[in-house]
Structure 1
């Protein structure tokens, strides 16, 4: 499966392992994984998660995200991020969403700026990546006080979305 270059899933066995880890971490309360489905075709096109959960601080991270290559650039990730941000801020009433990405991933950084996330800084040599590469991670955030403006400007076309269980 071809996904984001920065998340290497070379075959179905690696994808299966990725899913198993996501489900294990869900059971442990470490993260909440979501499947991204293209409504028109009912096809699974990716996944994203809420994790690094701090109930005391009302802070959460959006991450562990990937999309099949042919869905990249279609707007699906934009919609998925809106749904997650809307849930965190409008339903949970939390204070902060964090998103980190590989400093080499210009597409992701541009996408995060597009959704109104503020760049906070770089953690150097932050993570071990495949092929013996050390990753510098760029941190972005959106705060609860910023959400209403972002929701009604950047996401204005889809801001009538209502979360329902």
Structure 2
């Protein structure tokens, strides 16, 4: 079975549900997306309804074209939509995939939802898709994302300078991280040991 079949499946554990995006998700995602600080290190900004419409339409278009699988994250403790995360750069013949395009509404920052979602995607990638390498990239300036990737056990590989343009005219230096198949058991134990995420809005 090709990756395409596996990538259509929803993923869940007791904490989060990850469902491939559908047009009906537009309003629930909009409700958590309209905070400019979410998008500080993204290649696009969401500062208006028009910005969000472009973002959401791109999510649907990328998924329909097979460029990436876009998941909507639901926090199962509240039933609320928390944000989104994707599989992209799908290189099946090379056994390589990227996890990225990750964002959460501000109420869900620091709650553990991010780690729970990444755990499900890593587990799916290594244990269902059979990948050899999962990669991540982020802005060199995004210290919070870099700390989060290090905390899950991803290995920093290096910086690709002037990787892409950013809103406002800056060019982003992109830092790459990866988890390899041989490293997955240790990363899995590390993520499993983190336990239940905190409730949205609780101290962290």
Q: What is the TM-score of this pair, normalised by structure 2?
A: 0.74
Cα RMSD for the two superposed structures: 1.2
Is the contact made by 1:96 and 1:143 (CA closer than 8 Å) also made in structure 2? yes
Normalised TM-score (structure 1): 0.91
Greater alpha carbon shift after TM alignment, 39-48 vs 115-124:
39-48
Runs of 5+ in structure 2 lacking a partner? 1-33, 196-204
Q: Which has the higher contact order (CA 8 A, sep 6+)?
A: 2
1:141-156 to 2 correspondences below 5 Å: 141-156=178-193
Residue 45 of structure 1 aligns with which residue?
Answer: 82
Matches within 5 A, 1:75-114: 75-114=112-151
1:34 paired to 2:71: yes
Choose from 136, 156, 159 the match for 1:122: 159
**Which structure has greater strand proportion?**
1
Higher helix share: 2
Structure 1, unaligned runs of 5 or more: 159-165
2:18 is matched with which residue?
none
Q: How many pairs were matched up?
A: 158
Which of 9, 21, 35 lines up with 2:58 in the alignment?
21
Q: Distance in 2 between matches of 1:88 and 1:32?
A: 12
* Partners of 2:153 and 2:90 in 1: CA distance: 21
**Displaced runs of 4+ in structure 1, greater than 3 A?**
none
